[in-house]
Structure 1
Amino acid sequence: MAVPGKKASKQFSSSTTSMASDEDLQIYCQPCDEEGTRLPVHGYCTDCKEHLCKTCFIAHNKNRLSKHHKLQDATNMPQVLQQLSTSIHTGQSDDLTSPCLKHSKELIKCYCHDHVELLCSVCVTLEHQTTSCKVDYIPDISGDILDSKEYQVILNAVNTTSDKFQQKVEDVKKMTYNSNSFVKESLAAIKKFRQEINQRLDELERQTEHAANVIQQENNKHLKAAETTCEDITKSLKISSDKIKHLNTTKQADTLFINLKLAENKMKVMKEKLLTLLSFDIKEYNFQSNDVISNLFKTEKSLGTLIQKTFNTESQSVLIKSRQSSREGEICVETSKDEYVCFITGMTLLAPDLLIIIDYANNAVKMVDTSSQSVSDQLKLDDRPWDITTVTSTEFPVTLPDKQTIQFISISSNKLIMKHTVKVGGDCYGISCYQGKFVVSFLNPAKLQILDMNGTTLKTIDGKNIFKDPWFITCNRSSIYVSDCDMKAITKLNWQGDMIGSYSGIRTPRGMSLSDDGTVFVCDLVREVIQEISGDCCIRKEMMQDLKNPYAICWCEETKKLYYSAKKNDEKYDNFLHTYKLS
């Protein structure tokens, strides 16, 4: 047993001093010795290869980065000082070489599941020490990432986003061509009009041509900027994709894990840039001749005006499309655990082949594999859930109106697991998430609240004179859409809470889903149709009819599939998700 004063073998040295005297040959706590304090030894860490005093021994067993280390008591520990290896954690993977984004001198070593963040040891100590944080050492969890579903989901997201940017270049080219074509037609009209008047209009003609040429130059300038942005981002995403594939092929699990998480964060930024390009507006023009000039051109100073065609680009791209729908089939979501006929009130998509649905009647959250067309897992809750939204590819919140609570749920090893809860001030129904912010709708009284990830209220929007019965909501970068069952309307708000649009041509609005181009798909329960509404709530189209009381809805952009549930009070319809392909 080691006691103060026990002499060590002379071939070993202290971490800070040379063994020049008998005093230096004694065994002391090595971490404290490095700070200039010599304390008696209480135990030994085989991973760090250090002798520890009682205080360091206890702290070592509690610290997140060292609690998995193997410790020996004073009886079993080496009785001589051990030389420190070049790495404190001898079992640490050589792949842990990525610098922390917050602390550039530290390496990423851990991952927080609750905050979905890559961490260094400083991050863990300063920001993630609470017991609610689930922090793992990356080498302990990275082995499962190779060829995993998460690997496939993120890689597919990288490739899909890259494809969207490539497609955006083509869309901008087409819009520019159309705009320039109208400008050319305007120039032809100018020429024809000029022929009807005398030579005195030459100067006015040149002025109007100059205005048209300026528009062309601006169009081409915007096109060049869009091309450059999309090409640069496409190249960057290609590099990320190739690197991820290489790391997976070479089984570099730690680096692959880090790069996948970095790529996932990168996708959020890329999607924001894509939405910016989607809102890009290239105007079209027609030439309108000046009738006054036709008779009194000597007194006029203008040949005419290039009139801009005013329309919203976001809604235009939706309205120009003529979607054709074809029924693909049904997915049975009834399980042996169910006591009642299913009532699917909400659903969200985690991956093209993975749906999470809310079964209100059976107090359940169900995971649906759309490839095998089956329920792969089911989680029973202690109260009735209503709606759901996606936070990450593995985590989502569910509203529990009667408990006035939001329950967070995650997926681990293809199983649904309950995590923490957030208490809210009211009967919470609809929920939607965008870039770390939640929009939650409440009844009695009707209101919306914008919350952060911790449940802190950032803004409250009173429903007075705006909405009365907001059962469902959805949101994107610029807008919040409310499905109001009482006012029979879809109401559009901005993130400041101002009403900026409304469509009231719906008899019984229920669930909604947003497409990337700004279309709002809405279930009209009693009329048994799904309506397609433009992003500005100005125009709608009944795209699917005779659907047997559609209730909740979910759109998959990658597969162009629309899933909806029915509320017919008939197990032949209510126990199934109904699938349509749109083209």
Structure 2
Amino acid sequence: MEVPGKKLQAGPSTADTTYCQPCEQDDEILPAEAYCTVCKEFFCSKCASLHRKLKISRSHNLLDKSNMPTSISVHEDKHGYTEPCKTHPEESIKYFCSTHQTLICGHCAVQNHRSCHADVISDISKAFKDEQEYGDVIKTIARLFEDIDLCASDVKKNVDVVAKLGENEVYKLRRYREEVNKYFEEREQALLKLIEKMKIMDDELLGSLKPKYTNLKSKLEEINVKLEGQKNNMIQLFIETKKATKLLGGLQNDLADIKKDNVIHHYEFRKDPATERLIASDTGLGTLEHIATEPHKIASASAESDHSIKGPTVQGDGTRETKEISKLTVGQATVDLTILRFTSAMGIPMKSQTDNKDCYLSSMLKLTGSRLLIADFCNNKVKVVDMQTNSLVSQISVPGQPWDICHLPGDRVAVTMSNKGVQFLATGGQLAIGDHFEVGGDCRGIAYHEERLIVSFYYGKVAVLNMNGHVIRQIERDGNGKKLFQCPLYLTLVCEDSTDFIYISDQGRNTITKLDMNLNIIKTFQDPALKGPRSITALGNQLLITGCISNNIMILDLSTGQMTQLIGMKKGIGNALFAYCSPQQGKLLVTDAYNNSLKVFNKIA
């Protein structure tokens, strides 16, 4: 009987001769030159070379002729040990070290596990299939299969959820847009009908007056003809003149009645303030709120929302019922500024290569997106900063020294320019110069309200102007001739309970003054910690005020009238001109006198 890998031949060396096993399968007898400890096979030189090249076997350990076993019985094992040891590839794993809970070979047992308790695998594995450990592994595998299938099912469900969620929210958005469009169409039609009604009434009135003055003119011509015909007959001329005198009195009365009735309806279209605020808002129409939902609850939440795909509902009185999400409105702050804390961060360089002087950044205004508009007083420029990249991205020269900026409808702003009046700029894309008008005096603070501009002047005047610069009303002194303001450099508008008010900072008197829209003084605020108030900006029901002389930034709570310091000189505030705060971005931006950088402060979590 032949043994694989051995060729029985006559002669004394038959038992010691080993041959290539792969070649032997093809009835080719070649001496073995190498032995694979993984495959447990003998190879000739050609087969050994091929074994080293194949991807599946190139990492196997091959023993050369001087080190390979001399007998096939060496690599045969009646117990079937075939797993090679990672540390000693030429050896098979035969033992289990219970001390280290690891599989080892004989070499490992001698070298590293002499003091350990090692069991022979062939002894302890006889009944292993019936033991709990094997059963637990099988159960774990089964559970893992189930969990994977369940996870795959959840992923598939969420794929459907993503599709449905997008469809649902787009549907609701478009339904709401239709309601908004319908509302504005109805309002437009109502206004057009009213205009048409006024026009018809005036046309009818004027039409009724035409025959009256035509008749008067005919009677007057008749009198005139009679008088002309009696020029040569003095007696008859005297008689006709006396008769004409009485008739002319009646005609004059009739003409007076016509003039009295000749009154038409004078009217003009005025934009709705609420609509203007909506157009200027970044959250018009609505917002998209991220709802934190646990992964396993997403599908069920979507299923529930699928049953409630409804747009805004119209109630019996015609009002629309909608849900406002995270909308910051003037008079209703979502963040209490007094609890915020800030730490200094790297500033934003503001001086450009074309600037001839140090920067004097007198005002900031947030535009759409991440853009911030900044007035550079000394360099006669308005600049744009990108708050995401913290960099100066563009600038435009203006014909005066820009001081303060306010929003206008339609991607426009108005800029006060010291003694040069007011300049309009377009901000939709690149900054562009628009119209301009002159005003008498050094204009500083500015705000927009219902096609009007409220402007403060350096030497104490506050005026309401139309969009062409004509003064509608103004205040400067009280009834006793005393100046109401000393140096009102900034102002802002705040809507409180649907009523608009003006707040003005007076650097000369260290006060904040509240006025109604007719420029009547309502109240004055003052605090010892605030000196030299400059910029004044509204965030909800709180005002952010810079103290140029007190080297701090204060918060005025409009509900209580109390002032609180937000940040002071110890944190790097000095000669503060203007401050802009974005609680959502966790940033406070501050300008100070003759500083070529915009100071940045990050909120401390």
Normalised by the length of structure 2, the TM-score is 0.44
Normalised by the length of structure 1, the TM-score is 0.46
Computing the radius of gyration from Cα coordinates, the structure with the larger value is: 2
